[in-house]
Amino acid sequence: DAKTTQPTSMDCAEGRAANLPCNHSTISGNEYVYWYRQIHSQGPQYIIHGLKNNETNEMASLIITEDRKSSTLILPHATLRDTAVYYCIFHRGNQFYFGTGTSLTVIP
Amino acid sequence: DTGVSQDPRHKITKRGQNVTFRCDPISEHNRLYWYRQTLGQGPEFLTYFQNEAQLEKSRLLSDRFSAERPKGSFSTLEIQRTEQGDSAMYLCASSLARRAHGTQYFGPGTRLTVL
């Protein structure tokens, strides 16, 4: 079963790093972990993805554990516009399996 | 803007009516996906096309739902005899199949309300 486990909600102070964890213990060796976010009433927005190595782009960093059973999305300097639901997702076959995600609230 | 577009953005209909939604993917993308999202839940996969071929359908896609991608470009999703339970956000995404993995890029969605 391609399920991920994420905290239901988190708060983060504006300007601080937001660290969003995800467990994906059933991930297979060739399956990528993707992170998306969804701001209210909009379509999901791609953030970052990775397989084994840590990844960084202009939006975020992705830290994947050596056993690949969990990962952490890091928003280095959270802003109010980062308030959203964040999804950690398998890419299994041609489908993405979304859970309910983590609702991140950035507090001024 | 060269992202995924969807039309209409909002649709209100009465139970029993038919509705059709359109999705225009990113122009060079040959894979197109449809998802449904209800309040408080993440998107759920409905179906996907590679070019004009519909390759996979979820069990969520009942007989009242049909999707087409006639020329491998835009796609339509039709719901016949709508029910109140069909009220949801319908999301379209596209990706490029040549890559070993396909990052899906989502459109803004069509919000359907069935009265």
Read out DSSP for B36-48? EE-TTS--EEEEE
Q: What is the predicted pLDDT for the residue at B76?
A: 98
| Chain B residue whose CA is closest to A86 | B42
Is A57's pLDDT higher than 80? Answer: yes
pLDDT in tens, B60-110: 888 999 999 998 899 999 999 999 999 999 999 999 876 555 789 999 999
Q: What are the C-alpha distances in Å from A21 to residues A52, A102, B67?
A: 16, 9, 36
Is A43's pLDDT higher than 70? Answer: yes
Give which of B101, B111, B112, B113 to mutate to test A binding, by max A Cβ within 10 Å. B101
Q: Do A44 and B91 touch (CB under 8 A)?
A: yes
User: Chain B closest CA to A87's CA: distance in Å?
Assistant: 8
Q: What is the predicted pLDDT for the residue at B18?
A: 98
User: Chain B closest CA to A25's CA: distance in Å?
Assistant: 19
What average pLDDT does the segment A6-24 reach? 96
Q: What is the predicted pLDDT for the residue at B108?
A: 96
- By three-state DSSP, how is residue A80 classified? helix
Q: Do B56 and A95 touch (CB under 8 A)?
A: yes
Beta strands in A1-108 (DSSP E): 9-13, 18-23, 32-38, 45-50, 55-56, 61-64, 70-75, 84-92, 95-97, 102-107
Model confidence band, residue A2 (pLDDT cutoffs 50, 70, 90)? low
Taking an 8 Å Cβ-Cβ cutoff, which residues of chain A contact chain B?
A: 32, 34, 36, 41-46, 49, 85, 87, 91, 94-101
CA distance B95 to A78: 28
Is A92's pLDDT higher than 80? Answer: no
pLDDT in tens, B51-60: 999 988 888 8
